[in-house]
Structure 1
């Protein structure tokens, strides 16, 4: 079976391209403030095909407030990153669902990600809700891993087997949670985004079910189109005959 290509790749594998032309007017306004930031550079990125595109760079010198306008066709995940200069902090990036309208981002220099408050985006609110449901399951999985290690160290094999069986159920629960959340939010662009990011390697029937449930507006959006194309690519790839020794000669 040939490997299919995930339409949204991990950030670390992508190239960066800057947009030379900045939009003066647009249907999306992003207002923001980074409390405590006196000097530095903020960057707004999005993923286009397999490339991270820099939409704008914001040089901060004294005033930590900023405002930018862009044109956006449909809701899409954006990334706001902070260049701290000589600092080695890993807390330099936050992601948010951008959509037409006015979005406000308020955060702090000290805790750029964890202190971030994003308002004005319904899709971002929905995605945050999804992350909470996923986090609850992930936290339980981490607890189980610790318990499994303890049981192994104590040579409690029966207890270890029970914990491992429960851990497998939690994995299934995490994927089921993603499917159910996507189906329950079929009128949000978050739905196809979840399918692409968290369910891309699951059985194709789950992706099909989500795709078929989407409203027409979401289907015609950025991630709706990507999901449709991805499902087709997977089906084409998985229907390819497996080469035998005689065929390869």
Structure 2
């Protein structure tokens, strides 16, 4: 039976070099899990692992490459928990068909390959992360919203097909993460404050807010097929 602890659990965080993923890795490591961070950038992974400290391992993995995902899991022992937070912002302006396909590979097909290739220990879980645009898409990102919504639907189907492995999806709302780093600092601060004022809680989320919910998905042995909206009340 699953235990309500991460002590000595083997946790893989794909997209773990920054933002939500790094925060998950930090919280899991603090709970004495054996954490592996995976992403495309070796430099960013080393920096994130250094910030987390301890015995945090890293693995370079491009989630847009289904073959690379398959090969990675072929050489791995079973995991207790896997988290997929990977995803990058597309270039500004209208998306080309090529960029749309890249986004689908990074966000949807990566989850499919992980579900097919990963092995889990008893009591294991897979947690996916999308975003509130999947529920209430803003103008201009219809394709990205649809890709995320497909992940939401996929996770519920996987909860049946992968049982007793538990599969859940966390759906964050606006959050202060490195995805905003492209803005000048003053503009970024002003924009996040403006967004936060429109929420019932009066602020945007943080990476730690989202990480705590992901950890909860790992630890609750009766939780599967859930879509957890974590948007500070934006959808009310």
Higher relative contact order, structure no. (Cα contacts within 8 Å, ≥ 6 residues apart): 2
Q: State the TM bucket, normalised to the shorter chain.
A: 0.3 to 0.5
Q: Which has the higher strand share?
A: 1
TM-score of the two chains, using structure 2 as the length reference: 0.32
TM-score of the two chains, using structure 1 as the length reference: 0.31
